[in-house]
Structure 1
């Protein structure tokens, strides 16, 4: 069974979260944001933290504005999407994810390695084709057979 996708993005400034999540309606969810290490880019220099603190329940409209309308540098990021009104928790394993209401997990590790888990197979297919069209490298499906991740965290 397909669990998600993994791929690599360039190690550079950009709006990669917005680009990656284009096929998903970010505004339709409330988000857990792990508060990891990523920064706004201000005048071609690293500025303030993109997500300075852990956020439980960021409104999707607010997240959409941040990730689509700004330039930033991702180092580590942990974003998890929940239906509006659902109980939001930090799922830290695939087993917890399966038992939760979490609909999507997006992890960024070391600026380039992206992992996306998604419950909706149609959304996974849309994400896969979108990422392939963008030309991001090392794109592959994450399946029950090849998933070696032991936790859904960037640390």
Structure 2
């Protein structure tokens, strides 16, 4: 069974996550912000991409951050919920049992992993990654998933 998709994005400044998530409507979700390190360029200076005093963000605000800014992702941990019932998710099994619909992880600037409960959405994300020319695009399945935790 397909659990998610993984691929590599360029290690550069840009709006890459906005592009990665284009196939889905991220505005319908409330997003939990996990640990990470990401910076946006504002007036020639680097600022935290995600507000340090917030651990959640609305979908519309996240869309603006990811599509309307130039930023550099080192690590990111974002989890999408439709009903806003946030929970701690450390494993794939906890993800399946939770109200979380999508987990997006970025590690070492380039390595993207997305777990998605919606199978059509997963296919769209996979095909879009290929269309964007991202490298090493592959489905994560029950057989090849080596990740022990869903955090960065």
Output one character per residue of 1:22-43: Cα deviation in whole Å (capped at 9) or x when no partner.
0110100000011410100246
**In structure 1, C-alpha distance between the alignment counterparts of 2:48 and 2:149, rounded to whole Å:** 24
**Count, aligned residues:** 152
TM-score (norm 2): 0.95
SS of 2:39 mapped into structure 1: strand
The answer on whether the counterparts of 1:35 and 1:55 sit within 8 Å (CA) in structure 2 is no
Q: Which runs of no fewer than 5 residues in structure 1 stay unpaired?
A: none
Contact 1:36-1:51 at 8 Å conserved across structures? no
The two structures have a TM-score, normalised by structure 1, of 0.93
1:42–1:100 Cα change, 3 Å: same
- Change in 2 beyond 3 A, CA 1:12/1:58: same
Deviations 1:31-75 (A, max 9, x none): 0011410100246x6511112437443111111111010000000
2:21 aligned partner? 21
Q: What RMSD in Å do the two structures reach over aligned CA positions? A: 1.4
Q: Deviations over 1:5-31 (max 9, x none)?
A: 000001100101100000110100000
CA distance in 1, matches of 2:137, 2:45: 28
> Quick check: 51-60 or 63-72, which moved more?
51-60
- Cα deviation, residue 127, structure 1: 0.6
Tell me if the contact between 1:35 and 1:54 (Cα under 8 Å) persists in the aligned partners. no
**Helix, strand or coil at the partner of 1:66:** helix
User: Which position in structure 2 is the counterpart of 1:8?
Assistant: 8
The equivalent of 1:80 in structure 2 is 79
Measured after TM superposition, the shift of residue 141 of structure 1 is 0.3
